[in-house]
Structure 1
Amino acid sequence: MNASDEPYEAGPVAALRRIAFLLERAREDTYKVKAFRGAAATILPLPAEDVARAVEAGTLTDLPGIGASSGKVIAAAVRGQVPERLARLEAEHAGPLTDGGAALRAALRGDCHSHSDWSDGGSPIEEMAMTAIELGHEYLVLTDHSPRLKVARGLSAERLQRQLGVVDAVNEHLGGGADGGGAGGEPGFTLLKGIEVDILDDGSLDQSEEMLDRLDLRVASVHSKLAMDAGAMTRRMIGAVRQRHTNVLGHCTGRLVTGGRGTRQQSSFDARAVFEACAENDVAVEINSRPERRDPPFALLALARDAGCVFSIDSDAHAPGQLDFLQLGCERAEDAGIDADRIVNTWPRQRLLEWARK
């Protein structure tokens, strides 16, 4: 197929990034995404005239990380045409992910749960931040995993400390910072320092007190022994909720309802007791937007609502395109009749930070 005859002015890097975003949003295979993000990384530092010369000479695929498919996209974009692959993906995957949740999605200011390639995410921190900006976020909390989750390359205290320096550098580059100040006094965008910290068997958290103190926000989640006895799981979760560092209880049931990892039954625990502990300790219950999680299920979501909990609607994104999953969680929150002011990521950044520092 030939490239579209429509004019295209965004350039080849933008075309490659958009293709990768749409593939991630559609939960396509990772290897497809990497081909386009890798090609974008290859040509990003090159002068535009060098890329154009390679297109005309037919030598694009001599460059590392550029194959036949990404080469076609680059060639079309350089010639000012909409790449056919991009046009097809826009038609197939650019529409709304769901019918509901639009009003609440418009009220969200950020996302409190995301992963980078420092743990089990697929993209660099900078790419996650740039995509969050493009989606209109005022903030994104970077919450890579804690050390016990070795399968996800969880961060030791030393690696987390290095990551915090990278976050500072990204914010400096973007003109943001801890107060969110941008150029000219505008709110700007801030990448916030966080963690998805494992809840250990006894309810303690899988990271040092010192490092947890240095973070803006902490999501605490159970990732192991999900089938443990209901009484023990209840004590474990309440113990974590009572920890002074815990801000958000992540994907509380641990269930999987669809997707490449198969399905998994939800954990058994006294949900009323856990949610009452969340309300008493001002810990948000996460509404996890991942299509394969949809956690908590509706009955538990309603129970948390009636217990007086606050909530955090999170993408749990492991790739930039997945940051757009938020509307799926918004639809579920609207169906449950949860007021927007009870959702912490509708709050201005400073209010969120003050709440998280409780």
Structure 2
Amino acid sequence: GQRRRDIERFRSVTRRLQILDGAEVDILSDGELAEVAGGREQFDILIGSVHWGSDSRTWASAVTGAASRHDFDILGHYDGYLTSYREKDGRRVAEVLASNDVAVELSSRYPPQNESFLELAKEAGCEFVFGSDAHMTREVGSIQKAKELAAALGLEVLSSRQVLKRFS
């Protein structure tokens, strides 16, 4: 599509700025990812996110199902729609994310309700990335709240260079 052509054109004229083509895709309650026009394989990076209210068990089942099939690269705003949270479900999600190399987003738009999940993810060996979850151009790169959270919890976050190396 036009988006991809624009990215390819820009990539061909600049070496100073590297652009990844990515999308945020819904993780459905059955553990599948929502379909994307043109297919998910067109993207360099996929953020999988739950966008529906769920209890802890349903959330864990959906996220672990999608992560175990290597369907996405980053879990976006991991608990933004949780109606309940159980540590045993969080531990299972963290372990599956870590074993499938799925990073956890620290979102400035959706502050975590359950910071203990981040501790479990850290213990499991998950990597962390910053995300602005920008809905408007002026919000792109707005990650100050996420940086403060990482510092408060002692989380090491992938640098921009590490993200580019891993996903490009």
Q: Distance in 2 between matches of 1:328 and 1:288?
A: 8
Q: Distance in 2 between matches of 1:306 and 1:253?
A: 18
**One-letter identity of the residue aligned with 1:352:** R
**Native 8 Å contact 1:287 1:296 kept in 2:** no
Aligned residue-pair number: 166
**Native 8 Å contact 1:246 1:283 kept in 2:** yes
Q: Are 2:100 and 1:285 equivalent residues in the alignment?
A: no
Match of residue 45, structure 2, among 217, 220, 224: 217
Listed as ranges, the matches of 1:300-319 within 5 Å are: 300-319=117-136
- CA deviations on 1:95-143 (whole Å, 9 max, x unpaired) are xxxxxxxxxxxxxxxxxxxxxxxxxxxxxxxxxxxxxxxxxxxxxxxxx
What's the offset of the Cα at 1:327? 1.9
What's the offset of the Cα at 1:249? 0.7
Match of residue 193, structure 1, among 8, 15, 21: 21
**One-letter identity of the residue aligned with 2:135:** H
**Native 8 Å contact 2:47 2:76 kept in 1:** yes
Change (3 A) 1:196 1:347: same
**Native 8 Å contact 1:204 1:239 kept in 2:** yes
Give the RMSD, CA atoms, in angstroms: 2.4
Q: Are 2:137 and 1:347 equivalent residues in the alignment?
A: no
Match of residue 227, structure 1, among 46, 50, 54: 54
Q: Distance in 2 between matches of 1:346 and 1:334?
A: 19
What's the offset of the Cα at 1:223? 0.7
Which structure is higher in helix share? Answer: 1
Unaligned runs of 5+ in 2: none
Q: Distance in 1 between matches of 2:7 and 2:49?
A: 26
- CA deviations on 1:74-113 (whole Å, 9 max, x unpaired) are xxxxxxxxxxxxxxxxxxxxxxxxxxxxxxxxxxxxxxxx
For normalisation by structure 1, the TM-score amounts to 0.42
Matched residues, percent identical?
30
Match of residue 246, structure 1, among 72, 86, 90: 72
For normalisation by structure 2, the TM-score amounts to 0.85
**Native 8 Å contact 2:108 2:131 kept in 1:** yes
- Where do 4+ consecutive residues of structure 1 move more than 4 Å? none
Change (3 A) 1:296 1:280: farther
